[in-house]
Structure 1
Amino acid sequence: MSVTDLSILGMLRTRMQWHQTRQKLIAENVANADMPGFKPRDLANPEIGRPGGALAQPAGAATGGGLAVTNAAHIGPAGGPEGPGADPRRVKGFEIRPSGNGVNLEEEMMKAGENQADYQMAASLYQKSLDTLKIAIGKR
């Protein structure tokens, strides 16, 4: 069994690759911020259960995960979309300019910063795991 076959290292390697791919998509969104008709893209979070991080809907698009209101007399979810557990950074809907472009530069920059921090954390954990293995086999 190779050291690189350990599940923790494989998981961290996969996570870092996911963050690299997401960073490329965020950079494409920023680069096309002035292109008419461009819709921003993002990767689905692999923790949600989408294997391989398949491409998600355009940022801010409804995914159909909420409750359907079939009658106006029904009681809605507690607190609405801004209720408990809601992400305060989440925008109610993405803005579309008259040219049809849906890129919000501020939102993309926030995503890029969060993505970079998450990548750095995964890279740091990967390095610490390798250091621990080196100590365990007496190479340090």
Structure 2
Amino acid sequence: MGIADLPLLGQIKGRLNWLDERQRVIAQNVANSDTPGYAARDLNQPTDFAAALRNGAGVRMARTSAMHIAPQGQQARFESAASPDSETTLDGNSVVVEEQMLKMSESRMAYDAAIGIYQKSMQMLRMAARAPGR
């Protein structure tokens, strides 16, 4: 098994690929910010906790100790509120450059965090592979 086959590094690689693609989509939105009729796009999160709970109907809260608070309902409930992604101008363009810059900043911070985790993981692997006493 090679280093690239480690699950953690595979997940980091997947996250970096998703962030790279999101940056591309955001850049495309900014490039088309003056194009009449252009609708802003964004990628969905690769993992959505609420969706995972909805899809896994068998997931239930359980009281495993008498000291735990009793669950109000047997199923965890999440409610989502619809919020407009952005404004639409008179020419039909829905790109708000400020929102796109915020999304780009969020993606950059997530990218930096993933790179940091990758670097720390590689440091730990090097340390584990090193001969004792070196």
TM-score by length of 2: 0.71
Match of 2:95 among 103, 110, 127: 103
**Unpaired runs of 5+ in structure 1?**
51-79, 82-89
What is the RMSD of the two structures over their aligned residues, measured on CA atoms? Answer: 2.4
TM-score by length of 1: 0.68
- Alignment correspondent of 2:63: none
- Alignment correspondent of 2:104: 112
Count, aligned residues: 104
In the alignment, structure 1 residue 3 sits paired with structure 2 residue 6? no
2:19–2:111: 8 Å Cα contact kept in structure 1? yes
Larger Rg: 2
- After superposing on structure 2, the runs of 4+ consecutive aligned residues of structure 1 that deviate more than 3 Å are 90-93
Match of 2:122 among 108, 130, 140: 130
Deviation at 1:92, TM superposition (A): 3.9
Deviation at 1:107, TM superposition (A): 0.6
Change (3 A) 1:48 1:23: same
Query: Where do residues 1-140 of structure 1 align in structure 2 (5 Å cutoff)?
Result: 1-48=1-48, 81=81, 92-138=84-130
2:86–2:99: 8 Å Cα contact kept in structure 1? no
The amino acid that maps onto 2:34 is D
Mapped to 1, the partners of 2:2 and 2:27 lie a distance apart of: 35
Deviation at 1:15, TM superposition (A): 0.2
Change (3 A) 1:44 1:132: same
